Amino acid sequence: MKLNDFGLLVTSAVNSTNPNAKKEILINSEIHKNEFIKNKEKENKKKEYYINTYENIREQYRILYEDYIINRQILYNKWIETKSLADLHNLISHKIPDIETIDDIYTTDIKRSNLKLK
């Protein structure tokens, strides 16, 4: 029920001589309230799924990569100062962490194809 429909129901109940008009308004408003709560719960579940599936993982990988960059910069600065082979070896052996590519999905409405990938 839309707000306009509810407004029409209220005005018709006010102008009506029907004794059940108030009950009808209360019943319809309760139905509308329950539908609104159900829709809100569905949206919250979708949002929670999105956050757990994409957002949190992106944030973890971002932090992991930032730590890698900071540590690499420290090793690089140390090698620049000393110019030793040991520091160069430490810099070269500092590997980038395994970071998976997360799809660029920024919505909860994900449509997946039924086609099989080769």
Residue 29's pLDDT band (cuts 50, 70, 90): confident
- The token pair at 31 is 């139905």
Residue 53's pLDDT band (cuts 50, 70, 90): confident
Instruction: Give the residue carrying structure tokens 């609104």.
Output: 36
Spell out the domain ranges in the chain.
3-93
What's the mean per-residue pLDDT of the chain?
82
pLDDT average, residue stretch 44-67: 90
Instruction: Give the residue carrying structure tokens 């932090």.
Output: 63
Q: What is the dihedral of CA 53, 56, 59, 63, to 10 degrees?
A: -120
Return the pLDDT at 112: 62
Is the pLDDT score of 32 beyond 80? yes
Assess contact for 1 and 30: CB atoms under 8 A: no
Residue 38's pLDDT band (cuts 50, 70, 90): very high
**Alpha-carbon span 59 to 66, nearest angstrom:** 11
